[in-house]
Structure 1
Amino acid sequence: MNKSALAVILTVAFSSSAFAAEADVAADIPVTPMNASRVAVDTSGSNGNIANAVDQAIMDAVAKSMPAKSVEEYKASQQAQQPVGVDSYGMPIVQGTKVKTVDDAPLYTQQGQPPAIAATPVPTVAPQVRGSSDPITDSVRSKYKPHQEVTIAPGHGELIPVAAGLQNRIQTPFKDALVKTADMEVPIQTDGGFVYITPLSQAPIGIMVGERGMPETMVSLTLMPLDVPPVMVDVKVKMDATTKAKHAEFIAKLQADKEKNDFLTEARKGPTIENDPRVNTEHENRATSLLAEVAGGNIPNGFDITTDIPAEERYPCDIVRMGMYHEVGQRMISGREIIDVVLVKNDINGFREVREEYCLADDVISVGVFDRATLAPGETTELYILRDKLYNEKLKRVRTRPRLTSSY
């Protein structure tokens, strides 16, 4: 039997069954009639044969056009409902799966650290809150103060924190500080014993500072520029007794030379008198050679020596300024000049300096100290004074008149 014959038979069977009984038709249609008075509805029956056949035909047609999985799920839902068990959380229990029910909620624990790997252990380093990773820089930073005092011996070094990009001042005990450094780009200025330096970066700067002309007084300073305010450093150089005495004598000589040069400079600014050794270079050289010859223990040509000194001329220097014992012990006289040899003794405590200007007067041409200018307690030296012998006679020849505006 082919498919066409089967379809005709089903159609005839369906038509004959549909018109067999009106009551059966009304009962088989699962829809409430719009007018119950016209169509008798039998509510006593459930599902008839025709309705079941129609439903099955519709489902078969729909099943052919739907995925196989959707049809299986639908068929499973249409099966007779069986009581399904649920677990303690209200979830359905799938058959064939064993579910362990618990009375209490499970305990959850925090996941631990991953297992250790067999490798070389790495030490844990605490993070640095401030400072840098360089321990030397951190040590210098801890020493920072706006005003610092550093005591150091000659030939030794010191690390000093300074401000980067700002001017810093370093005070030294030297009269004329000499600064030596390999960094020629750093601005450095000196003013007597003060050193002014401005670091241009945070790179360390090494300098050596000492007295100009005395390299044995040099000290080494390593400046560490930091982001801090400007610094004023007071460097105290701790010298031994020998170096300290040599330094004091050196400073005294520098001061004496400076005062002598200043005196000669001022003297040359006045009117030039040919025979005045105080302003004439030729006579200045002669005065120097005379005093040098006397300091060597000789008597210059044309001079006679005597120890008979008038009492009023035995102490020619200013005793208040000199502060030490002094007395004229010898006098050399020529036709125009007088040379006094003065004994000076340090009869008090501490080092004392012999200054030529303490013995200057109107009749004095030149004063010189050739042996030593700084005396320790108990030490002595000679001081030489060249005088103009005719000075008093020149004053006598000067004619003066009484002033009208005063009694003198």
Structure 2
Amino acid sequence: MVQVTPGQSNDLPAVDGSVMHQPKAVKAEPVETMRQILIAPGVNTIIPIAVGHLNRIVTPFEDPIVQTVTGATTKVEKNVVYVATDNDTPVTMYVTPKDDESLALSLTLAPQKVPPIEANLILDEGRSAQGKSSGGLGVRRHYSGAARKWEESQPYMDSIRGIMRALALNKLPKGYSLAKLAPGDTVPACYQDGLDVDFSRSQVMLGHNFQVLVAVASNVTNQPLLVDETACTHPTLAAASVWPNNLLEPGMKTEIYIVLRVGEEQTDDSQRPSLLN
């Protein structure tokens, strides 16, 4: 019979820390799930969503109405539509503003094995071929309820500052939609020695009380040029600003933001008949 006597803790040999196995920390890679999606009325837009998870669709409407016949679960919270489905059958739906059934966004949501998606819908609206707008741009039938609520929830100058701030951050002001500058539109007249203002690739943003034009200004001289923000004029001009630089080196470019008021009828001046007719 061999008797075993329990050893003391200090009887155990020391183990070098370098041979101890430590599990390596795994760095979690972030996954981009936010998507900016240009969408136009009358055009079906396909958007991937996560199957088996909750997805978030941010609409340009203040109180959207969702019409769908698929088995997906939908819930509306303010201007956001939450969508979930547990199978890979595409989810088709129409989204309209609460107060205007004539404007509808057609969506096809394609379920995939991806993380939950947040899709921010940005209206890309067309131009009406008839009529003239009081702001000098072509008539554009668009929804501006959200823009009106944002603009009129604050003082006039705060709205102007908010518009400029959003543009400088490469964002759209709340409720605004995108459009294109069309042939025949009247653009602001800009004149400053040595400054070329190009409206050929202008961005147009439509609100309720304001419209915004973004153009490119270039220094075409061989010396530095300080951009004069009052160089552009228009009958309904509300404000103008340049970003990111107002001091341009030779050949340097910057963006110029021009805010126009909407809804101001231009009165026709009395006309003198020509003696040559």
Of structures 1 and 2, the one with the larger relative CO (CA 8 A, separation 6+) is 2
TM-score computed with the length of structure 2 as normaliser: 0.39
Higher strand share: 2
TM-score computed with the length of structure 1 as normaliser: 0.27
Higher helix share: 1
Whose Rg is larger? Answer: 1
